[in-house]
Structure 1
Amino acid sequence: FLSLSVSFSSRTQSETSIHQYLVEEPTLSWSPPSTRASEVVRSANVSHCELQVEIGRGFDKLTSVHLARHTPTGMLVTTKITNLENGNKECLKVLQKAMILSHFFRHPNITTYWTVFTVGSWLWVISPFMAYGSASQLLRTYFPEGMSKTLIRNILFGAVRGLNYLYQYGCIHRRIKASHILISGDGLVTLSGLSHLHSLVKHGQRHRAVYDFPQFSTLVQPWLSPELLRQDLHGYNVKSDIYSVGITTCELASGQVPFQDKLKGPPYSPLDISIFPQSESKMKNSRSGVDSGIGASVLVSSGTHTVNSDRLHTPSSKTFSPAFFSWVTLCLPKIPITVPVNTYFT
């Protein structure tokens, strides 16, 4: 289902240096190394950002996300604005980590921040405009009954590449879900949501497991792995992200978040089989491997995209191949994941 060939070669910067970035104090203002695309929006001048419309909220509703225009160049950008006075000490610490890590990582499938600056008590973050928003926004707007296998594969391909990059540095994302997978106008997929990322590296040593159990919002619990939810002495590692990838796969395929009803109903049960498709469900397993397919008529112009509703529709009944179900089974085993992590990235 998801064929991905990546290299596990060593990087220029060591895991120890990443750990250093995780614990050191950030500078008050910084900009990433210049590139041809980002050079035009590096100036920390708030008057150069003309806010167009609010397109979302983030960071537990503390951050407003806007489509903006960089007036000197006319480029469309994404602007995140956070009132630092509204956040408690823990929130500010998490936000601080996200800013540092977004500056440190350099990969096409990891969300880039072009520049970060403050205006009074307001933190402004300028990043590339992702014309199609997040995968969850695509689900709500165009695919309420789930996406086709082809589209899911293309989205997960980019997301897993970004996840593999984080794994090279011994980092656990801990927030993999459709709303943290962003898609640009030309189809580039990037991972966002680095605020809860955690490193396996401590005092220069890479550990097999970590025992950091933050107070996650109830809203994110359906994507968390059983070992992370258990909060026991076994801890967890990068394989917990693989479980989240499996849940995200189900989310993209069905248009629904697995276990979401459990947050208001019976006690949470990670292995509740009721969320898996049965033989007569809309999501059918087929040995023929026939895919439902989607149309490709999508235009991006002036910050909005126009979709040909006749082509971009969701069939009432979808068929997924055995390879698709094998992928989900691999990510969501009924016992703790014991296969090598490399299996998921090859």
Structure 2
Amino acid sequence: MVFNLGRHRTQTSHPEELIKFCEQEYKWSKSFISVSALKPSAFHLTTVLQDLSEDNKKVQIFRANHLLTNHTVVLKLIDLDEEELLDYVSFEINTIRQLHHPNLLPLLSSFVIERHLWNVITSAEYGSVDIWSRPNGISELAIAIIVRDVLFALDYLHKRGIIHRAVCGPHILINSNGHCMLTGLKYSTSVLKDGRWHNTIHEFPQNALKIMNYFAPEILQQNITGYNSKSDIYSLGIVCCEMANGCVPFEDIQLTEMLLDKLTGNYPKPLDATCEEIINFPTDVEDLTPDALYFKEQDIDEFRDCFYLKTQPNSGHITSVEELKTIMRSLGQSPTDDELEKYFKEKNGKISFADLLDVMHTHSVKEKIPQEILDAFVATDWARSGQMMTRDLKHILCGWGEKLIPKEFEQLLKEANISGPYFKYEDFVKIISAPIPDY
């Protein structure tokens, strides 16, 4: 994952900070509306994000630049030939207009041109959570950050009497600042009916077939007890399993089977150390794949994050020698061009994550970087003194190979505690090859 995690380490949940953020977003939205001509010519369409059928009506989604403000936005064009769809869309717009929170996707503007409704929405550059979680899930830290932002949004909604009813991976979007924003309010409902706050709701969400896997049992059961805002927390739990496991729970079974499983308490689990199936998994050497024996879980998580960061445009596969070179070097390996060609050819020119683990293991067995560096120092030490001149090291590192810049070289000397004209190269190798501390 490439979200900006730094802001989460300093962000607090103080109400005044959320209010300040909301005010800034609201002012920008008002400014956008005031300068916008509210017509198609005010936007330059750059990318078609989606072209689908919703309620048998055409819905098109584009990424576009707003010409007057130079902001990147998303345009959602909806065909309004039928009044039924108009009522449906009007509800969503009216709901969003009443809400202002940094973890809810804002609607910047909406206008009608001929038979089309144009909704102008904030752009979420990193897309939705479900895209990032497939096929092998995401790290626990990333899940915790996403869940935190969604909980902020749900707390805001629930305090205002709104049950979201559609918390799912596709409705959690990530912007360029790493903020997660909840969308999908067209499925929401209010517990305020006829001027009264109702403890339970009984109505079933309309047009919700594609998100039924996320529904809480009490929504699906449709009995006299009804459901309340806690159903959103159940849905968030399903999203946690989706993010951890890389797939949507219950997606491979019939809806009737899913309903039976939920009503009988057969709930999904994240595939981690708390899962009994994982705990009881056979640990005999012959029962495990070779790759599972050679890497720590933390290393595999690092490999996975690097792999999917680099291969996202290629549907999760390495498709060139250059990509393989970049990934392996990012993970601390130093394969030669001939070795890279060999690995790529052995995997038939398309390397999956499982293939990468195999390549990493194969290369790590024969590549002993610290020893190779030490052997190189010894080869240049004719007197076998165990020392080397600092200026000679600078000549090698700044003049050959990938060539460090002087500032990088000075930082390296500082980290290795080298200050004089000579240094002991064996101590130097131990320092530079030591694992990075986990803070």
Give the TM-score of the pair, scaled to structure 2: 0.56
Structure 2: how far apart are the matches of 1:298 and 1:37? 32
Deviates more, 1:72-81 or 1:183-192: 72-81
Aligned twin of 2:87: 93
- The answer to whether the 8 A contact 1:94-1:196 is kept is no
- The answer to whether the 8 A contact 1:83-1:123 is kept is yes
Cα offset, 1:50, TM superposition: 1.3
Are positions 1:253 and 2:244 aligned together?
yes
Aligned twin of 2:422: none
Are positions 1:52 and 2:43 aligned together?
no
Higher relative CO (Cα under 8 Å, sequence separation at least 6) belongs to 1
- The answer to whether the 8 A contact 1:146-1:314 is kept is no
> One-letter code of the match for 1:54?
V
2:253 partner SS: helix
> One-letter code of the match for 2:80?
L
> One-letter code of the match for 1:55?
L
Structure 2: how far apart are the matches of 1:74 and 1:210? 44
Higher strand share: 1
Cα offset, 1:159, TM superposition: 1.1
- The answer to whether the 8 A contact 2:125-2:176 is kept is yes
> 1:139-154, aligned counterparts within 5 Å?
139-140=133-134, 144-154=135-145
Are positions 1:103 and 2:91 aligned together?
no
Aligned twin of 1:166: 157
| Cα distance, 1:228–1:58 mapped onto 2, change above 3 Å | farther
Aligned twin of 2:344: none
5+ long unaligned stretches in structure 2? 1-7, 282-296, 311-322, 332-351, 358-439
- State the number of aligned residues: 281
Structure 1: how far apart are the matches of 2:215 and 2:178? 27
> One-letter code of the match for 1:172?
I
Residues 207-251 of structure 1 show CA distances to partners (whole Å, capped at 9, x for unaligned) of 110111234432211000000000111010000101000001101
Task: Identify which of 41, 59, 66 aligns with 1:63.
Answer: 59
Cα offset, 1:138, TM superposition: 2.2
Aligned twin of 1:242: 233
Task: Identify which of 185, 189, 199 aligns with 2:190.
Answer: 199
Are positions 1:228 and 2:219 aligned together?
yes
Cα offset, 1:206, TM superposition: 1.0
Identical counterparts, % of pairs = 26
Deviates more, 1:61-70 or 1:239-248: 61-70
Aligned twin of 1:28: none
Structure 1: how far apart are the matches of 2:162 and 2:52? 22
1:100 partner SS: helix
5+ long unaligned stretches in structure 1? 13-31, 300-306, 318-346
| Cα distance, 1:7–1:208 mapped onto 2, change above 3 Å | farther
Higher helix share: 2
Considering only CA atoms, is the larger Rg found in Structure 1 or Structure 2?
A: 2
- The answer to whether the 8 A contact 1:68-1:79 is kept is yes
Task: Identify which of 196, 203, 208 aligns with 2:199.
Answer: 208
Structure 1: how far apart are the matches of 2:218 and 2:99? 27
Task: Identify which of 177, 180, 202 aligns with 1:189.
Answer: 180
Cα offset, 1:53, TM superposition: 1.5
Aligned twin of 2:28: 36
- The answer to whether the 8 A contact 1:8-1:168 is kept is no
Cα offset, 1:76, TM superposition: 1.3
Cα offset, 1:262, TM superposition: 2.1
Structure 2: how far apart are the matches of 1:274 and 1:258? 9
2:107 partner SS: coil
1:262 partner SS: coil
2:97 partner SS: helix
- The answer to whether the 8 A contact 1:145-1:314 is kept is no
Are positions 1:180 and 2:171 aligned together?
yes
Structure 2: how far apart are the matches of 1:80 and 1:309? 37
- The answer to whether the 8 A contact 1:152-1:253 is kept is yes
- The answer to whether the 8 A contact 2:103-2:152 is kept is yes
